Structure 1
Amino acid sequence: MTAVSLEHSTVPADTGEVTLLIARRVDPGYEADFELWAKGILESAASFAGHLGYGLFRSSGGDAPLAIYPISVLGGLFLMPHLTALPLLLNSLITAAVFNVLMTYAAMPAVSRLLRGWLTT
């Protein structure tokens, strides 16, 4: 079976066009089946009007969160001391909001640009 190529020369997140991102973990030995399935789904989705494109990023196989760790450390260092006096639910809400914004608009675009060559090979 030949390898399925689903890569693009640009990462959609770089231009702000991503509206959905789905992560899947493929069991060992099923990679080729997954690639074939993904190719069919992605090509089918591309046939709809307004579709902005797609990309398939492959994991290194590890589960280490690349961008989450530094944000967590810095958040704990700078943000948490100011939130300790707040009620737990409000503290959690603010923490989740800040971390989500940082991950979505700062960390992931930067990591995508940094690892573009690796992510699209």
Structure 2
Amino acid sequence: MADSCIQSQLTEPGQEGPVTVSISRKVKPGFEADYEAWISGVIEAASEYPGHQGSNVLRPSASTGNRYVLIYRFDSYENCERWESSELRKQWLDKLAPLIEGEAEVQRGTGLEFWFDLPELPVNKHPSPHKMALVLIAVVYVLIMAINLSLGPYLSGVDLWLKTAIIVTLQVLLMTYLVMPRVTRLLKGWLFK
């Protein structure tokens, strides 16, 4: 039984999808401005690495346990590992010690789970694949229909490949930054049960 569970989780390198890393740190009082300058620098450095897909920073609040949370994504495990084992990242981490207290809390996720991330939930708390699939089918369907209905008249003379690229780009951007964070919060009780 355990072997079949492990077998279903095995993935070939390069097929794991995007990797999302969340690192939360407690900043020493009075060092907030220095830490924010550090975060800006390390984000800029990471953005130069292949496969970097963006970063977000959550400032201290009740939902983050009064810690800063740095979230970054890479398109694959290999590219994430390339950044994390780089000499440049090590140099940035060496500058960090005087600014923080305690240990950093690191969480990682791969694949579609990043659309269902809530910072207040532990990294190992993910919806079942069935629930994720149901929500994604509904959201993708509604978004594709809405985009087609609203932009269809404007894109009627556009080549199919360009029209599809425009629709897919809008759909992914809307899902990632607008729709899925709200849907995940709205359905949190059902998704994470």
**TM-score when normalising by structure 1:** 0.52
The within-5 A match list for 1:32-111 is 51-52=106-107, 54=123, 55-59=125-129, 64=134, 65-111=137-183
Decide whether aligned partners of structure 1 residues 61 and 88 sit closer, same or farther in structure 2, where only a CA change above 3 A counts: closer
How many residues align? The count is 80
Q: Which amino acid aligns with 1:117?
A: G
What is the percentage of aligned positions where both structures have the same residue? 28
Counterpart position of 2:185? 113
- Distance, in Å, in 2 between the alignment partners of 1:60 and 1:91 is 30
- Structure 2, unmatched stretches of 5+, are 1-21, 23-57, 59-69, 75-103, 109-122
SS state of the match for residue 107, structure 1? helix
Give the match's secondary structure for 2:158: coil
Q: Per-residue deviation at 1:59?
A: 4.6
Paired amino acid for 1:116: K
Partner AA of 1:89 in structure 2: W
Partner SS for 1:52: strand
Superimposed CA distance per residue, residues 68-116 of structure 1 (whole angstroms, 9 cap, x where no aligned partner): 2221221121012211211222212111111111111122111100011
Q: Tell me, what secondary structure is at the counterpart of 1:112?
A: helix
Letter in 1 for 2:152: M
TM superposition shift of 1:62: 8.9
- Where is the strand percentage greater, Structure 1 or Structure 2? 2
Give the Cα–Cα distance (whole angstroms) in 1 for the partners of residues 165 and 157 of structure 2: 14
Task: Report runs of 4+ in structure 1 exceeding 2 Å deviation.
Answer: 15-20, 49-53, 59-64
Q: TM-score scaled to structure 2, two decimals?
A: 0.34
Q: In 1, distance between residues paired with 2:173 and 2:143?
A: 11
